[in-house]
Amino acid sequence: MSSDDVAGYKRAAAARALEYIQPGMKVGLGTGSTADLFLELLAARIRNGLDITGTPTSERTAERARALHVPLADLNELERLDIVVDGADEADPELILIKGGGGALLREKIVAASADRMVVIADESKFTDRLGRFPLPVEVVHFGHVTTRTRIVNAAARLGYPRLTPVLRRASDGGIYRTDNGNCIYDCSFSEIRNAAALAAALSQITGVVEHGLFCGLASVLVLAGPGGVRVVERQRP
């Protein structure tokens, strides 16, 4: 499958997600290449008269949205959102996600938790029966991050992942990658995550961990596009 094909699938998923947007909505704007395509399509609709207010999940998305003249407001002003549209690194049939490949997992999760509906857009290659092939990003405070890494390794071992080797994410200049919140990221290759809820709960309890990229119970709609067209997987939020 060529990169042009994948870009086309991402665009097709983004276009389908536009159907969930209604006038007057408060819309969370995701981060990543698929979310960028959605933003472009949304901006075109806004130019044709659609009235929505967006709130970005990253500085990068905020910059792009401003360049496209998408009306923005701070999440604190909007409080509750009608919907967020975002990409994912992996998604399973229960709509549990791995996110954070682009480093925006913390704000993405805050925005998703503030929205009535989370619509995830992706090409089919992101859909998997077993999460974990994509390394799980774990955002940690810079202070003492090496000690936090040890606590992550120990917690993983207690859950039956004895050989976890979290890798500190680097920026393109070779320095430590910093998120929009000034934190670091450890990318954790689990290979296969057997119980996402248990792992999510264990990671959330570790001192020094700010957030992790497992999104459990947040996504309500998954829009997947591939060679066979676009399909939608839905899940009711409890």
Question: Who contacts 102 (Cβ-Cβ below 8 Å, separation ≥6)?
Answer: 31, 32, 58, 60
Shortest Cβ 185–ligand 5RP spacing (Å)? 10
Smaller CB separation from ligand 5RP, 153 or 232: 232
Smaller CB separation from ligand 5RP, 153 or 177: 177
Q: Does 28 contact ligand 5RP by CB under 6 A?
A: no
- Interface segment toward ligand 5RP; rule CB under 6 A; list 29-37, 67-75, 166-174, 178-186: 29-37
Please give the residues from 78 up to 107 whose contact with ligand 5RP meets the rule CB under 6 A: 86-89, 99-105
Smaller CB separation from ligand 5RP, 2 or 48: 2
What does R_g of the chain's alpha carbons equal in angstroms? 18
Q: Does 189 contact ligand 5RP by CB under 6 A?
A: no
Shortest Cβ 103–ligand 5RP spacing (Å)? 6
Instruction: Choose the catalytic residue: 59, 77, 108, 124.
Output: 108
Q: 213 and 99 in contact (C-beta within 8 Å)?
A: yes
Q: CA–CA separation, 137 vs 26, rounded Å?
A: 28
Among 14, 21, 29, 31, binds ligand 5RP (CB under 6 A): 31
Tell me, yes or no, if 108 is annotated catalytic.
yes
Active-site residue set: 108
